[in-house]
Amino acid sequence: MDALDRVAKPKTKRAKRFLEKREPKLNENIKNAMLIKGGNATVTQVLKDVSALKKPYSVLYKKKNITRPFEDQTSLEFFSKKSDCSLFMFGSHNKKRPNNLVIGHIYDYHVLDMIEFYIKNSKCPEGTKPIRLKSLIDFFRGPTVSNIRLAGLEYVLHFAALNKKIYFRKTGPSLDLVLRRTHLASDDLYKLSIKMPKPPKLLGLHSLNKCY
């Protein structure tokens, strides 16, 4: 058995919390994505742009990895367990399949499905950095709360755009993708991947009386 496949019993509270974070949840966390480039990759800039858009939930591997996802998924599963990512994007380039891009899901550190694309056209932003719209709202944003007590409400900040016409200029990154190959999960594996864990049992009135 591989060292990464063995799950040792946690000896500290910190290790226990780390393993609990990786367990299935009713409300899943934001999915992390790993971006890997293969040998002779000419799609490096595409991977960098996607990584910048996905940050801070992306892991960009800068070294080349000689692998073929449709023939052997060992490397992808290894990096998935190493970086705790459930999404991946693999870019490669060769004579048979130039400008190749593979996007897929990973379940339980095993490849669930993959879709392969040919990058027909790509446009990268030149000298620009990603900005966030509605910067005023983001600047004055406070903590997220589920309820508000109206009696204690002192003031409200309201932002509105006076000009109804909003123009956008295409700067990139943009991709024109052509479908190549697909690798879909089996019915049994797909059902297993969408299975929800059992919710925690609620304490009854008799149990609550015992606690207090």
The counts of H helices and E strands in the chain are 6, 6
- What tens digit of pLDDT does each residue of 148-164 get? 888 888 877 776 667 77
Residue 128 pLDDT level (bands cut at 50, 70, 90): low
- pLDDT at site 119: 92
pLDDT in tens, 22-75: 666 666 678 889 999 987 767 888 999 889 888 888 999 988 888 899 999 999
Q: Which residues lie closer than 8 Å to 209 by C-beta, 6 or more apart?
A: none
Residue 73 in tokens: 């998924």
Question: What's this model's pTM, rounded to 2 decimal places?
Answer: 0.66
The pLDDT, as a whole number, for residue 115 is 94
Structural domains in the chain, sorted by start: 22-129+172-211 (3.40.50)
Higher-confidence position of 66 and 113:
113
Structure token pair of residue 163: 């000009």
What is the structure's pLDDT at 79? 92
Say yes or no to pLDDT of 1 above 50: no
175: exposed, middle or buried (C-beta count within 10 Å: 0-12, 13-18, 19+)? middle
Highest mean pLDDT pick, 12-21, 87-96, 186-195: 87-96
**CA 121, 182, 24, 187 torsion: positive or negative?**
positive
